[in-house]
């Protein structure tokens, strides 16, 4: 989602006996226990690399084309490409997440939230989607729900500086309202 930078670092190859979900589970466990923000960021980059790889050359190509269309400001084309990726692989979390991000960029917050809900149904630990939800809640002025979203992110990714900062700011803001 818009609040988190995604990098192109690739995850190391998993052993033949490891499944992607086991690898993700291990990475999420490491992320939850890592307090150093730089080390945590490297773990999060490995998670993003796992999410980006759909396992399908066709879907990966559609996603690359969608990224290019977004960078060329051809949002309609990007949306069509993301729709096709989702049709081909309806359980591909990152297809839904990228479409949520595009809807957010286009100002379609309701559609973005629908896609975010689908992302979180498929992968409840998707901290990028949670950050996107927090951004939408921030724009709508819903401080209480935004705070809950950032707190949820910190449960998954405790070393995330942005989430830490937002929780502090929102907690102070809400405490000021109650006094």
Average pLDDT over residues 152-163: 97
Where does the pLDDT of residue 12 fall: very low under 50, low under 70, confident under 90, or very high at 90 and above?
very low
Give the C-alpha separation, 171 to 41, whole Å: 24
Residue 49 · residue 9 · CB < 8 Å: yes
pTM value is 0.84
- Tokens representing 5 are 């930078």
Where does the pLDDT of residue 176 fall: very low under 50, low under 70, confident under 90, or very high at 90 and above?
confident
Domains of the chain in sequence order: 20-52+124-178 (1.25.40)
C-alpha pair distances (Å), 3 with each of 101, 102, 110, 120? 10, 13, 18, 16
Give the C-alpha separation, 171 to 164, whole Å: 11
85-143: per-residue pLDDT in tens? 999 999 999 999 999 999 999 999 999 999 999 999 999 999 999 999 999 999 999 99
13-66: per-residue pLDDT in tens? 333 344 555 489 999 999 999 999 999 999 999 999 999 999 999 999 999 999
Place of tokens 């999420």: 28
How many C-beta atoms lie closer than 10 Å to residue 105's C-beta? 14
């Amino acid at each position: 989602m818009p609040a988190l930078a995604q990098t192109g670092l690739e995850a190391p190859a998993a052993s033949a006996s490891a499944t992607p979900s086991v690898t993700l589970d291990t990475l999420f466990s490491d992320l939850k226990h890592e307090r150093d923000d730089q080390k945590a960021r490297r773990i999060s980059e490995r998670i993003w690399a796992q999410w980006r790889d759909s396992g399908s050359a066709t879907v990966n190509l559609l996603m690359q084309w969608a990224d290019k269309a977004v960078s060329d400001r051809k949002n309609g084309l990007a949306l069509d490409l993301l729709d096709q990726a989702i049709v081909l692989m309806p359980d591909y979390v990152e297809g839904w997440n990228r479409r949520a991000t595009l809807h957010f960029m286009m100002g379609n917050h309701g559609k973005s939230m629908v896609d975010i809900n689908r992302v979180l149904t498929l992968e409840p630990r998707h901290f990028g989607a949670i950050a996107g939800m927090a951004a939408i809640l921030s724009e709508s002025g819903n401080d209480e729900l935004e705070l809950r979203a950032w707190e949820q992110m910190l449960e998954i990714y405790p070393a995330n500086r942005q989430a830490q900062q937002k929780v502090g700011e929102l907690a102070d803001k809400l405490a000021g309202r109650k006094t």
